Structure 1
Amino acid sequence: MNTSLSAAKGNAIQTGMVYSVLLAISSVHMLNDTMQAVVTAMFPVVRESLHLTLGQIGWITFALNMTSSIMQPVVGLISDKRPAPWMLPAGMGLSLAGIAGLSIAPSFLTLMLAVVFIGLGSAIFHPEGSRVVYFAAGGRRGFAQSIYQVGGNAGSALAPLMTIFIFEPLGQPGAIWGTLLAIAAVLILLRVVPWYRQQLAANGKPVKKKAAAAASAETKPLTRNMIVFAMTVLVLLVFARSWYFSSLGTFYQIYLHDFKGMSVKAAQLPIFLFMAAGVLGTFFGGMLADRFGRKRMILFSIAGAAPFALALPHLPLALVYPIIFILGFVLLSGFSVSVVYAQELVPGKVGMVSGLITGLAFGMGALGAVAIGNAGDHWGLDRVLVWASFLPLAGVLAVLLPADRRD
């Protein structure tokens, strides 16, 4: 057993960050989201081999994201009452089954079923993974959550590369290589689970009281109505960001192929730049939020992305590459910050709140994929993507959020 993970390091909540654990759980987050990215990476291939419409591609994205979005807050609520370290490797086992199913699915419905297994595995992993991050974060929750989220965004960013190097040459059966990701994740989690169990034994039961006391000491307590209002605004912001993110992540590569004449491989580069910039934005966003405040970063990340989003559909190809990179950096800089802001709004319910916000992001992205896919079939994908570019303007609603302890 790796002593950096298994040896007692004191109380992780009180004595600073436990980097080895954060890096381990972040790497599993990367592997988990890479398995989800396999689904997106397969779209150009299965669109041809299974003769899928844009609407059906939207429904596949819906099945993946909605499964995890519905289950994440449920799993988080249960695990807040009864934390279960064994759920971490169990969730990866479901994803393993789903990835194997992707490689042999002969039809749209069987492909959907395999995707549901991957979604369930992700739903089980995320709330428990967020609790591990909470224990290992010390007092730097924004930075710690960013490390964790960077892993997930890095996994998502691999989708275009998988399309180029795996699915274009190997086709749908190439998904079987994704089972190696699930196996690697299980092996890493088996080394994290003993540390996590130790932290639960030392801190698990009183963590709710500690979190509430810390929140009360740091800032004036909010009333119930204020918390409900703030969560409602946060939900609307997540809604806008997720719909726009889904419109680019799912359909922009198809738009570039169908309307700009780019090859399937060439159309992956702008998507990769968008996702890779999001990884950087997530990392630096958490650091900046610890310094300048969660609310300011949430406002900057969504409203600040609006000018670039509005310009993107009208740019020549030469300008698409730098603008989509900047857009990805700004838009994703507030993703992990939203989770931490919600955790501080409702202290002591780390699993439920984390599952709600991240699950909501997946769920809203799922609805967005269905809506945009079906709208694209009816009115044209080029027109629908122009409409979607107005969504980040909703970021101005962030001014209505209560100030956090650094604002």
Structure 2
Amino acid sequence: MTAHRKEPRLARLALAPRLLLNNVLVILAGAGTVLVVVLLVTPSVFQLHLDRAGVATDSDALQHILMAVQDAVLVAVGIGIAAAAFTAATISWVVARRLAAPVWDAADTSRRLADGDLDARVLDPGMGPEFATLAASVNELAERLQATEDTRRALTADLAHQLRTPIASIEATIEAVRDDVLPADHQTWDTLAAQSTRLRRLVADLEVVSRAEERQLLLSAEPVPVPSLIDAAVGAHSECYRSAGVRLDASVADSTPRVLVDPERIQEVLGSLLDNALRCTPAGGTVTMAGRPSPSGDAAVITVTDTGIGLTPAEAGQIFRRFAKAADSPGSGLGLTIARAIVEAHHGTLTADSAGPGTGARFTITLPASGSRRTRH
């Protein structure tokens, strides 16, 4: 049988009574100290004053006077201590309750947040920086929980929409085969395999997005010259660009600094941007990947500019959202979301801008410099 440890009574006291008890103990300690000092000092000081005044008294009279003085001092000090203790205890109780109130408020707000009330917030009690920091911290936690919940709901809705099509296609194909409407031939199996691959790719993309946005990607960062990143990306995509009849150019400014990145992850980003540019640029168009230093010199800027269909201002603001894609796009709508998440995991930024439909688009990556610089020869 397990014995339950009995909780001490003092541990069950709330903050206000605990503060009051501490203050009362301080008051009692101070009062005791005053009484001891009075009893020790009064006879010596009284005798000193008698000697200075030249008052000659016999021993009995002196003893009587000393006792009278001690009694008078003790009574006066006792009344004073009692009055001071009452006043101090009253003030201590008021202050203790005042201090305990915001703590209870923060605890109640935390409980409401734990229960799912994400609109709960703590008001700043105006009692100094400590309580202001406590209130701000709880409110920041609430805002992050609210943002996470909003993201979860949006992701759930978007995911349900994205999964509906391949699942419906698989179910319809299986039902048609079962009813002998479709033959169980290679074409049918290819359809099922394609939809299964789409589901697997969607799940894999979602995993990457979640890990990247939560800064849980495993990054093997090292100083890398920007020219090598651009050359690798251009080399991997030159053939598909040639087949599509789209020109792919590259250039890097000599003063472009190295960047501290995971080369494989950044290649994923550059590849996604080049794939996106190729889909949006018709034959005869041009896509240019360029590198240059930032105006401050503490970062490298990589741009991917195309002469394709362009973007509206609304599209430029929404293009990095999950599942944002054109109706005829074969992808999952997560490529640019993953790209931005990877760049932000490297403490960089990825933005898009365009002068409007039909004018092309430009994607800009900014990555912090590694500290050392290397020019392209």
The structure richer in strand per residue is 2
Shorter-chain TM-score bucket reads under 0.3
More contact order relative to length (CA 8 Å, sep ≥ 6): 1
Scaled by the length of structure 2, the TM-score of the pair is: 0.21
Between Structure 1 and Structure 2, which shows a larger proportion of helix residues? Answer: 1
Which TM-score applies when normalising by structure 1? 0.19
